Amino acid sequence: MVKMKQLALQEIKSLSLSVLDRAGYGSAHAQSIAAMLYTCQLDDCQSHGLFRLLMCAQTMQAGKIDGHVAPVIETGDNAIVRADARGGMSLLAFEQALPSLIEKTRKNGIAALAVNNCFHFSALWPEVEALSSQGLAAMAMVPSHSWVAPAGGKRGSLGTNPLAFSWPRRSRDPFTFDFATSGFARGEIELYKRAGKPLPEGVAIDKAGNPTTDPQAALDGAMLTFGGYKGSALSIMIELLAGPLIDDLTSLESMEFAAGTGGAPYHGEILLAFDPAHFSGGRVAENDARAERLFADIVDQGARLPSQRRFAARARNLARGYVEIPQALYEDLQAMC
């Protein structure tokens, strides 16, 4: 059993800001990173909550990120917003580009945001939910580092490449999913390693290409995509849409750019947003009701919708006023500030 530490909600941000300040991030970047970590930790997303402060600090130590740079947001006449993170963390660029993405989506029915030249460490669901909270449906994708073997392959070519989607629901939490296209996220394997637990079968192969359940052998070898060739193809699609399409790096290129230094991958991100008011033939309420019928049919048979665990965790943590993180992580973070 991993020993857990109770952390008051206000401590999530204060601890994050101390670590980030000490690591060398300027106030604007630190605030946007701390806000993301609070959102994820509040929902008990352990692999992309406070644990990611370790990656943020390693990224700074690797010496390639600019912790103070201001992003540049470009909005032309078309439906594309471009946010140039200019070698900083992605989150400030996303935050500053979001109003333009919403405005363009409401105007055109569909719009895209390309975030370029960014270091990226975070979960995607808070970003797609920033759009669904405005009544828009949204998708987001990023590559990472080439840790993941394609189906039938033996070495890493693809990233862990998460795909997130959120659908707005009237007076309810949205329908959201967000997962790596690898069987496990890299962060999840790292958590298994810290907890001294073996991985399930089918998540990774070792350096020699043999199946392994040893987290360190998995980190040294290659991860596998979920769903065999289907996850592999989705992962390649994400490489293309969030890489060459938007004039940014693939996971292979991100790995080369890092040149063995640790920290967050460096690449781009693509977000697509859809306005139901434009798409649904003026029948938004009727079409919402049809979507609700589908959700009800899923839930009625005992299945759960993605993100239900997260929403329940949020309600519980808000009510009790604290979250739980591994004691060992707490001690590591304390030592960093």
Q: How far is the CB of 275 from ligand PYC (least distance, A)?
A: 30
Which CB, 43 or 84, lies closer to ligand NDP?
Answer: 43
- Is 48 a catalytic site residue? yes
Written as one letter, the residue type at 298 is: I
Give the relative orientation of helices 9-23 and 52-62 as an angle to the nearest 10 degrees.
Answer: 10
Q: Using the rule CB under 6 A, which residue among 39, 160, 254, 317 binds ligand PYC? A: 160
Residue 37 near which of ligand NDP, ligand PYC, none (CB within 5-8 Å, type-dependent): none
Q: How far is the CB of 187 from ligand PYC (least distance, A)?
A: 3
CB atoms within 10 A of CB 252: 17
Residues 123, 163 contacting (CB under 8 angstroms): no
Q: Which residue among 48, 120, 145, 267 is the active-site one? A: 48
Q: Contact between 82 and ligand PYC (CB under 6 A)?
A: no
Q: Which residue among 16, 18, 47, 132 is the active-site one? A: 47
Angle at 96 (CA atoms; ends 18, 45), nearest 5 degrees: 50
The dihedral formed by the CA atoms of 130, 41, 90 and 126, expressed in degrees to the nearest 10: -20
Q: Which residue among 188, 190, 239, 253 is the active-site one? A: 188
Binding site residues, ligand NDP, CB under 6 A? 47-48, 120-125, 142, 144, 160, 162, 164, 177-180, 185, 188, 304, 306-310
Q: How far is the CB of 180 from ligand PYC (least distance, A)?
A: 5
* DSSP 3-state of 88: coil
Which CB, 239 or 275, lies closer to ligand NDP?
Answer: 239
Which CB, 168 or 187, lies closer to ligand PYC?
Answer: 187
From residue 135, alpha-carbon distances to 36, 96, 105, 170, 274 in Å are 21, 19, 11, 8, 9
- Is 188 a catalytic site residue? yes
Q: How far is the CB of 202 from ligand NDP (least distance, A)?
A: 14
- Is 253 a catalytic site residue? no
For the sheet containing 148-149, what is the strand order? 148-149, 222-224, 204-205, 211-212
Q: How far is the CB of 180 from ligand NDP (least distance, A)?
A: 4
Which CB, 305 or 337, lies closer to ligand NDP?
Answer: 305
Q: Using the rule CB under 6 A, which residue among 97, 137, 138, 180 binds ligand PYC? A: 180
Which CB, 100 or 160, lies closer to ligand NDP?
Answer: 160
From first CA to last CA, the distance across the chain in angstroms is 27
From residue 258, alpha-carbon distances to 30, 68, 119, 181, 251 in Å are 22, 20, 11, 22, 11
Tokens of 212: 């392994």
Please identify every residue annotated as catalytic.
47-48, 188
Binding site for ligand PYC (CB under 6 A): 47, 121, 144, 160, 180, 185-187, 265
